[in-house]
Structure 1
Amino acid sequence: MNAPGIKDLRPLALGELIDRSATFWRAHIKPLFLLCFGFELINYILSKSVVVALERGNLFFKGGPELQSRMENDPTSLFGDLGTMMGATSVLWVVLIWSYWLSTLVVARYVVPVQLGESALPADGLRRGLHRLGSFTGAYVLTQLWGLGISLLMMLPGGALILLGALLSQTGSNSRPATIAGLLLIAGGALLAMLGGLAALFWYFLRFSLLAPVFAMEDLSTLGSFRRSGDLISGRVAPGFMGRVKVRAMILFTVVAGILIAVSFVSGLPAWIVRFAYGNPFDAAAAAANPIPQTLLVPVELLQVVGQSFFTPLALVFSAMFYLDMRMRREGLDLERRLDNRPPTSA
């Protein structure tokens, strides 16, 4: 099974990387869909279970008069509900990101051999994922700890402004200018902290974008794979600003992420139409008073899952292509393959 353009194995320009990823995705849409649909379905079941459980037992999700009354009379009694909501959503986030990286590993194990002209089956990726599951999960835990440290570091300036604003408001409570200045510092700090969190999130996906392909194709230990992915995404591969690997990766992943966000929005339109038909979905009290029947909501959400299963592989294919491009630019993988496939010459 050969991919289009396999005879032209060489380092690619930015536009060529996106074009070849899209070409491969179109040519192998069925096996890629089958590989991703299972992950997307499991993710949906987990997310739906958490949301339904919170809607039934968490006041912040249920909304209504009880939440308003508790916030006015005894706001401290809501700390338990707040902690439960934050804990459940945090655990769900960690599991969903782990599932995303694992699906990237599975798809990369199918894409890279095909691009190198070797035979490969979707089942090969699944077997590889199961074989490397333990070491991959260990590396994923390391990425989460690394990402948590970077998030705290990037959100630290905003947190300092919030703390300074709170102190200024408290010490100058009798002074109107001091109170206004404190509120401005708190608002600015919150905005700065939010931007720092978004920057940390973007950095996380950029820094570990090649971890899953490394696990898919190279037999390294947990720490070895962690370091190897960092080496591949660091430094430069060409002169000039655009020669920096992180700059190239940032541009390419931004383009692909934009495509996926647009596709996700389109595929999610039926679910949003149903939600708005039953009132304002952002008003918890109205949603609680007029709940959407799950027999109507689940089918349109499953339609969104199917749509995402068709288009999410494009991003996963791109990760595999970018891994190949880094191997060719840094290690001459394309030249090595040509030498290995060169016919013998007579004396």
Structure 2
Amino acid sequence: MNDSPGWATPGSSPSDGERPGTDGGAPQSSAPAGGPKWSAEQPPPGQWSSPGSATPEPPRTQPQPQPGTGWGQQPGTPYGYPGGPAPWGKPPAAKPGVIPLRPMDLGEILDGAVATMRSHWRSVLPITLVVATVVQLISVLVQKYMLSDLALSSPEDATVDEMLNDIGATLSVSVVVQFIQLLGTIVVTAMLTMIFSRAVLGRDSSVSDAWRDARPQLLRLIGVTLLTAVGALLLGAVLIAPGLLAENIPLAVLGLLVWLPLIAWLGIKFSLASPALMLEKSTVITAFARSSKLVKGAWWRIFGITVLTALITGFVAGVIVFPFQMGGALAFGGGFDGILNGTGATSWGVLITSAIGLIIAQTIVMPMQAGVTVLLYVDQRIRREGLDLELARAAGLDNYGTTGG
């Protein structure tokens, strides 16, 4: 974001394993060169008794930072946790926005995504609702006019050529619909990334702000998405096509078994390329390199969180969409007979009711998926590069990291 100095460009942050505050990554004192490095709250060195003195001076107590100054918590609740220290043994951390500024666990990442959807719904809801509506409107028209010419005869009555034509037409429609969905997802991801990045700092963001920040990187984000999809397809062709061309089914199956885990590994390895591209204003190649660097050593953790998020969002979407699809098929598609023989699949009633369910589901699911990805990116940069210090400065917490925060 142009107005958020918390997102450092690649190369300006410490390398992996070097957190600010440790050897090799400690922030420099603001004291003049050669001057004492004590904080303003500590006595100067001359007032401490020297070893072996006859009248040792009683120990002094360092003043503690006052609660309720700079972190936004209630008076009498130190470190932002009601009742005292952080629960469950977690270190205290400032929380200017939707997440605490420290390494997060699974629950905190999911909670941060939901909290952003709830507290910034005026920005999140219009983006996802408009994009989902446009995508589903185009998809309904494509399905209606491309599937209307299919031969819907029963399998026992259809010839081989008719069945092949039906399969080819269905695949064509599926490819077109998926491509439309992909473009919509890219726009939503770009704009929601900016909203979530502001929410981390506790700042509101309007739809116009999100579009203004996301627009310069939109073409590059399309490049990242298409390059990922094309790479996966080419890799599948290299591994599976030889077996199919040779009519060797075991070889094709072996290629498929190699392709699936390889795609999963590469997908997680480059899963943070999108937020890296948007928030660091980097190039396509640099975004892939940054994602690979941030994921290194944490692949299984990111894989687990990503899969769990996919299961949760898939379940939520299924619960929403299924009643609309069944209700539309029963009301407008000829009942169970139309469902079984597929004759009602292209009726306007079925397509429209299914699209309504998909619009509702995508409006809820897309922010969740985008939010978890952005917060995973932030979490990995906090763990590896000390991004929490930069986020605290961007949020106006000037004493963060120097007075117990």
Give the TM interval when normalised to the shorter protein. 0.7 to 0.9
Q: Is the 8 A contact 2:144 2:347 kept in 1?
A: no
Q: Is the 8 A contact 2:193 2:371 kept in 1?
A: yes
Q: Is the 8 A contact 1:147 1:200 kept in 2?
A: no
Aligned twin of 2:314: 261
Distance 1:291 1:339 in 2: 56
Deviation (angstroms), 1:30: 3.7
Aligned twin of 1:248: 301
Q: Is the 8 A contact 2:294 2:380 kept in 1?
A: yes
Distance 2:231 2:347 in 1: 41
3-state SS of 2:248 partner: helix
Deviation (angstroms), 1:262: 1.0
Question: Which of residues 302, 306, 310 is equivalent to 2:360?
Answer: 306
How big is each residue's C-alpha offset from its partner over 1:162-215, in whole Å with a ceiling of 9 and x where there is no partner? 8335xxxxxxxxxxxxxxxxxxx59xx65x666666546644643442222123
Q: Is the 8 A contact 1:111 1:317 kept in 2?
A: yes
Q: Percent identity?
A: 20
The alignment of Structure 1 onto Structure 2 pairs a total of residues equal to: 301
Give the TM-score taking structure 1 as reference length.
Answer: 0.73
How big is each residue's C-alpha offset from its partner over 1:260-290, in whole Å with a ceiling of 9 and x where there is no partner? 111111111222322552125663xx332x5
> Counterpart of 2:142 in structure 1: which amino acid?
V
Distance 2:303 2:246 in 1: 30
Matched, 1:217 2:307: no
Distance 2:338 2:240 in 1: 30
Aligned twin of 1:112: 197
Q: Note the 1:1-347 alignment, pairs <5 A.
A: 5-6=95-96, 8-59=100-151, 63-64=152-153, 69-71=157-159, 75-76=160-161, 79=164, 82-152=167-237, 155=240, 159=243, 163-165=247-249, 185=250, 199=261, 202-203=264-265, 205-233=267-295, 235-236=296-297, 245-275=298-328, 277=330, 278-279=335-336, 283=340, 286-288=341-343, 293-295=347-349, 297-299=351-353, 301-338=355-392, 341-342=397-398
> Closer, same or farther in 2 for the Cα pair 1:43/1:204, shift >3 Å?
farther
CA RMSD of aligned residues (A): 3.4
Aligned twin of 1:177: none
> Counterpart of 1:111 in structure 2: which amino acid?
F
Distance 2:203 2:290 in 1: 24
Unaligned stretches of 5+ in structure 1?
A: 166-184, 237-244
Distance 2:376 2:274 in 1: 12
3-state SS of 1:132 partner: helix
3-state SS of 1:163 partner: coil
Q: Is the 8 A contact 1:275 1:281 kept in 2?
A: no
Distance 2:267 2:337 in 1: 33
Q: Is the 8 A contact 1:256 1:315 kept in 2?
A: yes
Distance 1:149 1:53 in 2: 30
Deviation (angstroms), 1:322: 0.8
3-state SS of 1:248 partner: helix
Which range is displaced more, 109-118 or 22-31? 22-31
Distance 2:255 2:231 in 1: 18
Structure of greater Rg: 2
3-state SS of 2:96 partner: coil
Distance 1:91 1:293 in 2: 19
3-state SS of 2:181 partner: helix
Deviation (angstroms), 1:13: 2.0
Distance 2:177 2:350 in 1: 24
> Counterpart of 1:319 in structure 2: which amino acid?
T
> Counterpart of 2:197 in structure 1: which amino acid?
V
Unaligned stretches of 5+ in structure 2?
A: 1-71, 73-93
Deviation (angstroms), 1:227: 2.6
